[in-house]
Structure 1
Amino acid sequence: MTDTDTAAAVVLTVNPGSSSLKAVLRDPAPSVTVEVERLGTDRACWTESIAGHAPTSMPFAGDLPAAIAQLAELVTRRDVRPDAVAHRVVHGGPSFDRATVITDAVRQELSGLVAWAPLHLPGDLASIDAARAAWPDVVHVACFDTAFHHTQPDEARRLPLPTWVDQLGLRRYGFHGLSVQSILDAVPDIGDATVAHLGSGCSVTAVHDGRSTHNSMSLTPTGGVMSGTRSGDLDPEIPLLLLDQPDATADTVRDLLDHHSGLAGLADGVHDVRDLLAARDHDPVADLALRVFTRDVAMAIAAAAATVPRWDTLVFTGGIGEHAPAVSGDICRRLTGLRLAGPRLASGTEPCAGMRELAATGLRVMVVPADEAAVMDRETRALLAAVSDEPRSLWC
């Protein structure tokens, strides 16, 4: 495939989250976009946007493979056949530090990493399997959320545990790398930055010279900042104490930490920030959950800033970071005590009160939409050009 052919290729990007699905078909400009929110709940919603037409939304009752099947039907109705399908995969483990063609061997190796991302990888793999079944004769590519962070120095990746633990591959990997890369693409003069990706999952990344120096998550996406249903960092004795409870097992404790903690644990099962914001003025439980969350994120941002020589820029992205100014404003207010110097509110950013206060301390504060699909599309086109001369049998 020539460079011209690669640029004109039809690429479908598939991005399954812990509670969502986003897909974009580019041929080569975006022509179809699908978003499924609150997947797996009775409020799941399917929204599709066809180029030249207004978006349409409808309830969606199926699971992730059903969403992929419905996506395939939509693409087929458009009389389009993708040349490649790019899949966001949350964890690449020690083996995968760049976009990779998904062969049966790669699929098998990824299945061995499920324990390192139990909330995400089963869905990622189910999505891959459904898409490979729908499009068996096209190239499928894994784009890893951990790959961006492979440039981190040893001091950032190594856990304070014996060497033999590191040799098992147990180290800090970092996540939301595709999101952070999309921010760097959008803001090339970002300088030394912290990027707060706040959505169903939350993490903070520090960037110096375009490279990751730190991410608040660790071996798994459960660590770091608390999120919708995940605990984030805990005293390591707490899971051990929970295992001492009657009838407790490793699986029940893992389920507690991944599915019933974070905002959901604090707010009696409610984990959607939109619902908590609507209730906070009359519900002290919702208010406390939000205050714990914004405190946790602010502390993670301050810690990330300590890993770069000069903290120039703070970026908010992700569903919460882009659309919940009450939350980002509270986070900013908590950071004003760092007492930087000189106002630097980024142009084009619609500021809330907290952002104005923080910008007055000298930090450039920005809200930048993440575009993981654009990064996946670019990585996939580059890989298509690299493997085009290989026998197609090697792609399966």
Structure 2
Amino acid sequence: MTRVLTINPGSSSLKAALRTPTVSLTAEIDRLGTSEARCTVTDTGMPPVQEPFSGGAADAVAHVAALLACRDIRPQAVAHRVVHGGSLFERSVVITDAVRESLTALVAWAPLHMPGDLASIDAARACWPDAAHIACFDTAFHHALPDDARRLPLPAFADQLGLRRYGFHGLSVRSIVDTVPDLGDAVVAHLGSGCSVTAVHNGQPVHTSMSLTPASGVLSGTRSGDLDPEIPLILLDQPGATTASVRTLLSHHSGLAGIAHGLHDVRDLLAAREHDPAADLALRVFTRDVAMAIAAAATTLPRWDMLVFTGGIGEHAPTVCHEISARLTSLRLPRTLVVPADEAAVMDRETRVLLRAHLDVQHSSPQ
């Protein structure tokens, strides 16, 4: 019985699940890095237990290690969600020192995520040095995008530098493809701390809203999404501005937070909208932006059979999903589903495939 631990760090959370491959233990840390962070632990057959948590991604991994250690559990493999694989990594890979070093070069292409991804990888490799560690990339699913979806409207030299559409939330979309057998031609809206919209035809991506980095596409909790390209340049011209300060502004203080004076969790915005005009405006801008992205994605499909909402907002904020759908009523709105994303299941499966391949190579090698 091979125990695989999946570690899924997000921009504001970290989720861990132990699988055999059925789930036996989960730990989810929500609102990571804030004073409101909580860790919810669920053992099979037991009610969830919640406790306060403080610290970052590496601390979260250490906390998961402690939870396993007190149960005398050591995983044989650890699967890591890694947001960006760039042009180097088109599929899941075993993390070697060389792979770990290559991932460092991608930090600039996902500065909100990759530092936490790498910190959690380093912490996990230290906690479980004898386990196989596997990188599962959010960009891998989108390597199947057609060339007219991948290419950005830039000169050839920029394309040769790797500046193209990579797309994100690929593990989430892959899980929807795997769990909805009659998906057909669908638009999948992954709405969480980060948001993206993907069109899927015959189980393959044909369009996705995020581009080179997870800061692109529709607005998110703290990210601006797509902007007029002159706006960052104007911001850079402001007194005292630097590339780092503008990147921080666009990644940490924009999106819903920028409109609602710092509020960016949709639960808080929904609770505040009746008495806070800024919260109401943020939600209206958000639903408008997402609806437009869904409509645009639908134009890339031969037909539109299904709209799927997933992610933290998609799964748990029906009011927001209803408001998005209401904006689409002038179109032929297809069957609409809310499907929980199970990125950990995809990571677990890909890890087991890699482990089996590794064993097959060992068995076929001459003694």
TM-score, with normalisation over the residues of structure 2?
0.97
Measure, in 2, the Cα distance between the counterparts of 1:249 and 1:221.
Answer: 21
Does 2:152 align with 1:159?
Answer: yes
2:359 to 366, 370, 388: 388
* Cα deviation code 1:87-131 (max 9, x no counterpart): 000000001011100000000000000000000000000000000
* Cα deviation code 1:150-173 (max 9, x no counterpart): 010010000100001000011000
Q: Secondary structure at the match of 1:129?
A: helix
- Give the aligned residue type for 1:278: A
Does 2:181 align with 1:210?
Answer: no
CA positional deviation for 1:28: 2.9
Measure, in 2, the Cα distance between the counterparts of 1:195 and 1:27.
Answer: 29
Q: Paired residue for 1:346?
A: none
Deviates more, 1:247-256 or 1:76-85: 76-85
Does 2:364 align with 1:379?
Answer: no
Measure, in 1, the Cα distance between the counterparts of 2:44 and 2:356.
Answer: 27
Q: Paired residue for 1:235?
A: 228
Q: Would the aligned equivalents of 2:176 and 2:339 in 1 still touch at CA under 8 Å?
A: yes
Once the two structures are superposed, the pairs formed by residues 200-349 of structure 1 within 5 Å of their partners are 200-338=193-331, 340=332
* Cα deviation code 1:18-73 (max 9, x no counterpart): 00000000123211100000000000000000112111001101221111111001
Q: Paired residue for 1:81?
A: 74
Q: Secondary structure at the match of 1:388?
A: helix
Unaligned runs of 5+ in 1: 1-7, 341-360, 392-396
2:107 to 105, 114, 136: 114
Q: Paired residue for 2:140?
A: 147
Measure, in 2, the Cα distance between the counterparts of 1:274 and 1:76.
Answer: 34
- Give the aligned residue type for 2:17: V
Q: What RMSD, in angstroms, separates the aligned Cα atoms of the two structures?
A: 0.9
Measure, in 1, the Cα distance between the counterparts of 2:285 and 2:340.
Answer: 25
1:370 to 329, 341, 349: 341
- Give the aligned residue type for 1:32: L
- Give the aligned residue type for 1:285: A
- Give the aligned residue type for 2:296: A
- Give the aligned residue type for 2:264: H
CA positional deviation for 1:389: 4.9
Measure, in 2, the Cα distance between the counterparts of 1:98 and 1:84.
Answer: 17
Q: Secondary structure at the match of 2:33?
A: coil
Measure, in 2, the Cα distance between the counterparts of 1:255 and 1:67.
Answer: 23
CA positional deviation for 1:179: 0.2
Once the two structures are superposed, the pairs formed by residues 90-101 of structure 1 within 5 Å of their partners are 90-101=83-94
CA positional deviation for 1:390: 5.4
CA positional deviation for 1:175: 0.3
Q: Secondary structure at the match of 1:336?
A: coil
Q: Secondary structure at the match of 2:166?
A: coil
Q: Paired residue for 2:191?
A: 198
Q: Paired residue for 1:356?
A: none
Q: Secondary structure at the match of 1:370?
A: coil
Q: Would the aligned equivalents of 2:171 and 2:343 in 1 still touch at CA under 8 Å?
A: yes
CA positional deviation for 1:137: 1.1
CA positional deviation for 1:281: 1.2
Q: Paired residue for 1:19?
A: 12
Q: Following TM superposition, where does structure 1 have runs of at least 4 consecutive aligned residues deviating by more than 3 angstroms?
A: none
- Give the aligned residue type for 1:384: L
TM-score, with normalisation over the residues of structure 1?
0.90
* Cα deviation code 1:210-229 (max 9, x no counterpart): 00011100000000010000
Unaligned runs of 5+ in 2: 363-367
Q: Paired residue for 2:62?
A: 69
* Same amino acid, percent of matched pairs: 71
CA positional deviation for 1:142: 0.3
Q: Would the aligned equivalents of 2:4 and 2:78 in 1 still touch at CA under 8 Å?
A: yes
Does 2:68 align with 1:47?
Answer: no
Measure, in 2, the Cα distance between the counterparts of 1:151 and 1:41.
Answer: 37
- Give the aligned residue type for 1:87: H
Q: Secondary structure at the match of 1:337?
A: coil
Q: Would the aligned equivalents of 2:21 and 2:348 in 1 still touch at CA under 8 Å?
A: no
Q: Secondary structure at the match of 1:133?
A: helix
Paired positions, count:
362
